[in-house]
RNA sequence: UGGGGAGUCGCCAAGUGGUAAGGCAUCGGUCUUUGGAGCCGACAUUCGGUGGUUCGAAUCCACCCUCCCCAGCCA
């Protein structure tokens, strides 16, 4: 009997920590959280965090909270929060009843701030923002203490309460932690905990005019929710000492720990909320769900599946080193999924008429065509055929080069699932452009096989002209020309002018009629396409999700 | 020239002192009623560099180099 190797799954460093904590009993259950700020749409980088946080909760039988980090009313909107919930659910995760908001904790957070004041660990500073900045020192020089640093507890309490009461204007005072103005870590130089903002909050309305800073609200919110592993990106590493300081100096009910991992970057695109916002607001793309941007909404509209996004996130890994993932990996993930699950259909993007001269004028017949060769259970459909068909203009060349196996004068090819045809001539217009092909078919090849065993070197997709459905097809290319659009300084200058090409009159086989928005197909030999919500009963609009690899084109 | 991180194949990423996993990309071949998919194969004598410890180092030590982050009353 052979010893079966225990297939020790390769864990990323965070899962290793989680397992260790579970094994040693530091925690008996794992609680994570996904903490978006509702100030923009989620993108593929957030998907990585979602998959990590919810994935860990799932794998270890724990829980993952969806918590909105809504501590800054000037930037946040309910509309964004709704979009975020929709996107998280769509990616495939369920927070159940664990939907929270940092704003739910404002009262508790406030009380703890008073506790800090009473403990002499926080004080009201009345310096201006500029003065605070000046006294903070620099990266190499220590800061200086504020003249207000040693106010009495009573005065601090009084001032802080009056801040809450609305007695002061924005910026008049802030609450600061009393830590160490000489700390080499600037985050520890008496960080601001609360600021005054007379602003209506999308959830608490006008109940508050002081709002906690992220650095204050986050660790305490984690503790309130009994989060065990608080996962964030690398730029917060410097904030961990402050996170820990607060957990230590506030009487919180639990001891969460923060761990940092590298955020996801993708080449040929931009990922920061600020840049995505500019693309949307300045009209460089059609909206937050434009299929060319890496927002979850954009990817969804482009035709990506939640499963593809999840497998992509799995493949990308979790580590601490900066990374730029090749967008080809994202494309691979969607092709892999759609190859198995998308039904095939024939559609011609650039139609070239072909008249099959020996096929009767009035006749038409239909072929039983498999919906998905990768999945026999997908069944078949009827595809009509008649004397005049369209083929892809790229599939014909009057003078074919060496490796071109498709149609050419005198050459025989197979029409997928139909007949073999032989091109007899090309009809040109006055400008010398080919406008139509003449051909003959071999009736004995019905279905696409020849009794004599001859095998054409090419199989073409086609659509019966008489039965074709006119559709709009939107072809997308990368939004930016360079791998790193931000490198040059002005990412907008790097926009690809050809990122969207609209084909207004593509010819599709009639079976796609009535397909609902977001239905995905493979157009044989062309790529994967998804019905866009812009579609109407009169006309379907398709988005190209990804191309199929074309080795002839690639070599050419 | 303060502090915090990181450097393993073109892009990711395992590896935790015993002689460099895997994925994507790429390149061959095979198969094919999608030039798709699939299948088979190739792809780091070497782990930022230099010394050292050791029978043995990507893994330990020392020094050096490079890159990223931090001076919002943003998150």
Residues A17-61: pLDDT tens digits? 999 999 999 999 999 999 999 999 999 999 999 999 999 999 999
Q: How far is the CA of A26 from the C1' of B45 (A)?
A: 44
Nearest nucleotide (CA of A136 to C1'): B71
Residue A3 reports pLDDT greater than 50: no
Q: How far apart are CA A434 and CA A503, in angstroms?
A: 19
Tell me the three-class secondary structure of A410-448, residue by residue.
Answer: CCEEEECCCCEEEEEEEEECCCCCEEEEEEEEEHHHCCC
Strand order of the β-sheet with A122-125 is A122-125, A174-177, A192-196, A210-212
Q: Please say if A474 is a catalytic residue.
A: no
Residues A250-292: pLDDT tens digits? 999 999 999 999 999 999 999 999 999 999 999 999 999 999 9
- Alpha helices in A179-321, H assignment, sequence order: 214-224, 240-249, 273-281, 296-302, 306-316
- Please compute the mean of the pLDDT values over residues A198-208 and round it to a whole number: 98
Residue A554 reports pLDDT greater than 90: no
Average model confidence (pLDDT) across chain A: 96
Q: What is the ipTM for the molecules in this complex? A: 0.97
Q: How far is the CA of A544 from the C1' of B48 (A)?
A: 42
Beta strands in A454-526 (DSSP E): 459-460, 462-464, 469-476, 500-508, 520-523
Say whether A56 sits in a helix, a strand or coil. helix
Q: Please say if A263 is a catalytic residue.
A: yes
Q: Please say if A273 is a catalytic residue.
A: yes
Specify the pairing of strand A192-196 against strand A174-177: antiparallel
Residues A381-396: pLDDT tens digits? 999 999 999 999 999 9
Q: How far is the CA of A362 from the C1' of B51 (A)?
A: 88
pTM of the full structure: 0.96
CA neighbor of A324 nearest in space, from A479, A491, A487, A477: A487
Tell me which residues from 318 to 347 on chain A have a beta carbon below 7 angstroms from nucleic acid strand B.
318-326, 328-329, 331-332, 335-336, 339, 344
Residue A7 reports pLDDT greater than 50: no
Q: How far apart are CA A170 and CA A420, in angstroms?
A: 78
Residue in this structure with the two tokens 């969207």, named with its chain if needed:
A500
Sorted by where each starts, the structural domains of chain A and their CATH numbers stand as: 24-261 (3.40.50.620), 273-304+311-342+472-546 (2.40.240.10), 347-461 (2.40.240.10)
Please give the DSSP secondary-structure letter assigned to residue A549.
P
Question: Distance from first CA to last CA of chain A, Å, rounded?
Answer: 55
Residue A124 reports pLDDT greater than 90: yes
Tell me which residues from 390 to 419 on chain A have a beta carbon below 7 angstroms from nucleic acid strand B.
403-406, 414, 416-417
Q: State residue A470 phi and psi, 5-degree precision.
A: -80, 130
Helices (H) and strands (E) in chain A, counts: 13, 25
State the catalytic residue, choosing from A15, A33, A37, A524.
Answer: A37
């Amino acid at each position: 009997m052979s010893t079966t190797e225990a297939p020790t799954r390769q864990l990323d460093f965070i899962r290793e920590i989680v397992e260790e904590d579970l094994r040693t009993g530091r925690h008996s259950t794992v609680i994570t959280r996904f903490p978006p700020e509702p100030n923009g749409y989620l993108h593929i980088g957030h998907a990585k965090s979602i998959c990590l946080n919810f994935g860990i909760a799932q794998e270890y039988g724990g829980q993952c909270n969806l918590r909105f980090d809504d501590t800054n009313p000037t930037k946040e909107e309910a509309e964004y929060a709704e979009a975020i919930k929709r996107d998280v659910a769509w990616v495939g995760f369920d927070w159940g009843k664990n939907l929270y908001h940092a704003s739910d904790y404002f009262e508790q957070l406030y009380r703890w701030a008073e506790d800090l004041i009473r403990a002499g660990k926080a004080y009201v500073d009345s310096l201006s923002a500029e003065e605070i900045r000046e006294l903070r020192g620099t990266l190499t020089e220590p800061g200086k203490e504020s003249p207000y640093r040693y106010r009495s507890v009573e005065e601090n309490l009084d001032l802080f309460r009056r801040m809450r009461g609305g007695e002061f204007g924005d910026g008049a005072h802030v609450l600061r932690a009393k830590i160490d103005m000489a700390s080499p870590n600037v985050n520890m130089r008496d960080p601001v905990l609360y600021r005054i903002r007379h602003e209506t909050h999308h959830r608490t309305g006008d109940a508050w005019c002081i709002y906690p800073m992220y650095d204050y609200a986050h660790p305490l919110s984690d503790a309130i929710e009994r989060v065990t592993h608080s996962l964030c990106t690398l730029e917060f590493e410097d904030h961990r000492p402050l996170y820990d300081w607060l957990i230590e100096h506030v009487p919180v009910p639990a001891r969460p720990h923060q761990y940092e991992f590298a955020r996801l970057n993708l080449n040929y695109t931009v990922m920061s909320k600020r840049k995505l916002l500019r693309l949307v607001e300045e009209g460089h793309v059609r909206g937050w769900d434009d299929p060319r941007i890496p927002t979850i909404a954009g990817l969804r509209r482009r035709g990506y599946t939640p499963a593809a996004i999840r497998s992509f996130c799995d493949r990308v890994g979790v580590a601490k080193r900066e990374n730029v993932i090749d967008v080809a990996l994202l494309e691979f993930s969607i092709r892999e999924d759609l190859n198995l699950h998308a039904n095939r259909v024939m559609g011609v993007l650039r139609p070239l008429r072909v008249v099959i001269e020996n096929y009767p004028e009035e006749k038409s017949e239909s072929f039983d065509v498999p919906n998905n060769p990768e999945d026999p259970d997908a069944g078949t459909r009827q595809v009509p055929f008649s004397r005049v068909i369209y083929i892809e203009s790229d599939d014909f060349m009057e003078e074919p080069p060496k490796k071109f196996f498709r149609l050419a004068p005198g050459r025989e090819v197979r029409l997928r699932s139909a007949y073999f045809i032989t091109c007899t001539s090309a009809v040109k217009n006055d400008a010398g452009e080919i406008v139509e092909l003449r051909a003959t078919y071999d009736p004995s090849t019905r279905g696409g096989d020849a009794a004599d065993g001859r095998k054409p070197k090419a199989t073409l997709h086609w659509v019966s002209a008489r039965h074709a459905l006119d559709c709009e097809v939107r072809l997308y290319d990368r939004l930016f020309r360079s791998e790193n659009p931000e490198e040059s300084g002005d990412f907008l200058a790097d926009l690809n002018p050809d990122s969207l090409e609209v084909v207004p009159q593509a010819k599709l086989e009639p079976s796609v009629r009535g397909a609902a928005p977001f239905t995905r197909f493979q157009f044989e030999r062309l790529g994967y396409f998804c019905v866009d919500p812009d579609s109407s009963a009169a006309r379907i609009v398709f988005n190209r999700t990804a191309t199929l690899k074309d080795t002839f084109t690639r070599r050419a």
